[in-house]
Amino acid sequence: MRLKPIELPGALEAIQERRSFRAYLDRPVPRELLERLLNTARWSPSSTNMQPWQVLVVSGEKKRQLDKKLLEAFENKLPMQPKVNAYMDEWTEPYKSRRHACGVALYQALGIGRDDKELRVEQSRRNFHAFGAPTALFLGMSSALKEGSLFDCGMFCQSLMLSAVSLGLETCPEASLVFWPEILREFFHVGEEIHFLTGLALGFGDYQAPVNQYKTDRADLAEWVSFVE
């Protein structure tokens, strides 16, 4: 039991320095490190301690098999049917500008021009094998739960990402990995009782890769905070 405040400068640094990595070393993540990561993240808060998250971890040959299935779905333009839609039907401000700036910075880091459609498609393809990460995590929750549990699962996902940074790993949360839930259900042998929420690329980051050299900015407090005193 903790009886006094604790100082966690490492936690503050992890929040500020975490970024989404889109290139990884060809180096497997040991099982014991994965278990340490998950054992830490399980202490995330949740409403009435329901702990609604379910996690499926795939690595090695099994991940390569899943990569192939997701890439085929992308290339064949199968209808996307995610249970949780990450995108607006019509983008409005300020979200439209922020999303555009993120995309511009990404393609600039890669040296891909606006009209270079082939390279843009190739970069899009990388989403569906978790950017070459050796491990992918799939986060879900019971279909019987209500919208409030999405908030709990979001906190759990953040705990995973921050714990990964502390353990020398990098991540990238990916809505694109759950665009085709039926493929995931068949692959993981789960039924309609689980809603897939997001995927998470996980591995040892390639710090030399150009795509990992950029970091998005954040809006100033004045844009989104109101102090009532």
Q: Evaluate if residue 52 carries a pLDDT over 60.
A: yes
Decide if 79 is inside a domain.
Answer: yes
Range of the domain at 26: 18-86+128-214
Question: Based on the structure, what is the number of domains in the chain?
Answer: 1
**Burial of 9 per CB tally in 10 Å (0-12, 13-18, 19+):** exposed
Per-residue tokens: 21:
């990595």
Q: Which of 57, 21, 7 is nearest to 168 (CA)?
A: 21
Rg of the chain's alpha carbons, rounded to an integer? 18
What is the reported pLDDT for 38?
99
Q: Mean pLDDT score of the chain, rounded to an integer?
A: 94
pLDDT of residue 6: 62
182 is a domain residue = yes
| 118 occurs within a structural domain | no
In a domain, 52, yes or no: yes
Supply the CATH number for residue 188's domain: 3.40.109.10
**What value does the mean pLDDT take over residues 94-103?**
94
Is there a domain that residue 105 lies in?
no
Q: What's the token pair of residue 100?
A: 């555009």
- Look at residue 117 and give its three-state secondary structure: helix
Mean pLDDT in residue range 91-114: 93
Percent of the chain at pLDDT above 70?
96
> The whole model's pTM is what?
0.93
| Across 95-115, average pLDDT | 92
The answer as to whether 223 is a domain residue is no
Domain contains 134 = yes
**Residue 75 domain-assigned?**
yes
